[in-house]
Structure 1
């Protein structure tokens, strides 16, 4: 699988990585051994980038990764996140004391001395206007608690502000055929600044796999049930902010116009066709899906006609719901 440079970190990572929110929590019940099997499948398929967070299952996702790495010969680049443990979740508490506490907990969960990459976890917008937060991250680098740092953002404008800080080496952002604004305003700027781009929520919470239907019912502890209107966190994290029924209509139209049968692999390849993207991190709860995600990297690039179909469906069905917000 193709590898790409992760900004200025000096690290190269596979174009398709693994997101581990699903095996941590908020996607229904996933047995721990099943979660480990997902990580094993990714490593066995050659994936060299794993993304997690300290709040995925209250550290469960980080610990499952550590379990597998203890038994496996692979040495992937592991990115985690911090900040969402704050209660209340306020900008002023993104300070050295809290971040050091969160980092030390993640180091313990992941069983490492130094975290490969720490990302601020979708903090309040005001954090990006607090130089002292980024000074704190520099201190954590100096203390060898973290090797690199970046941010995970909700909005394009947050990403643009973040990369004004020279120490920010990566930005994680939602980008897919139903969330296209980053291509318009952010990707080229990130490339110019040599900042790695990590794409999350590539499937829009399953919409862009083509496997969902109006009859689907999601478990009570699945965010696709409890966060449709943003009750728990930013609504843009659930179905990429697209109303579920509208998203289903858009998926049907996209498959018809583009003539795409395997929408999931097409979606990943569409994302990777943007050169500024370093890696895309689809999550899953099954090893089989891990393998199909990895295979998507070798799919032929979208044709001009397919790209035009994506843009047309976005303009007609999706743009009004998401483009002005994220």
Structure 2
């Protein structure tokens, strides 16, 4: 979302600005011109809100009530309308004046006009102040020096930061590998490949979840298997599977993860191939009770700790 906010101190400056805005640009660029509105944001200011074409002036988040709801986002009420109490771009909401406050990043250098003559080392800071309008868009009343944050200390962490923290900690276990027939694998016959379906490796669903209360938010992290890469113990010999595979035996007649060797392991160390596997997961996080991702999903992997030895023989056919 690209939004440009101007503050003009006098009506004269406003008139000049509007006059300039009416001059057509000497350009063949077909992009629509920005649109704007003039609103009162404070008695001593006249504010112009300019929104670039295609941008959305509404703050992120959602929900209902003055606590949490609709996905758990905490809402604040001002002037008969609800707004997210915290927004990762705008900062935190002050219900005294209906504006979002965020410490300027980077802070102005000491002696800059924004400090209004105050010594940064003596306390206080400079804040960007953006006020949502009931008709849409925002007006700016910053950057401005404040001796202390409005409504006390701002939230230490945003919901995005909480979600990312929990997702980063999402643990997945190293798989325990199996291959069959383990003692009778032969060249030209499919070998079944699988790993134990346990907590930490996706169980029967291929999904791990963990719900944690972090910095005042109830966050559920979700890890879903997206693929399993098996290295079959011989250079360039590998196979990719979509899940844990099917355990051999117990009435199973089909596996979705197999490999057919074309050469015996007789000349390999200990006359065995040594198999390894790496599980790749898609990890994301959302507020408990919601399914909307709070972060961009990212991959995480876990590899088998111990290689699995597998002897592969050849069937010799004798003709009499």
- Specify the TM-score bucket, using the shorter chain as the normaliser: under 0.3
Relative to the length of structure 1, the TM-score reads 0.21
Relative to the length of structure 2, the TM-score reads 0.22
Report which of the two structures shows the higher radius of gyration computed on alpha carbons: 2
Higher RCO (CA 8 Å, separation ≥ 6 residues):
1
Structure richer in strand, relative to its length:
2
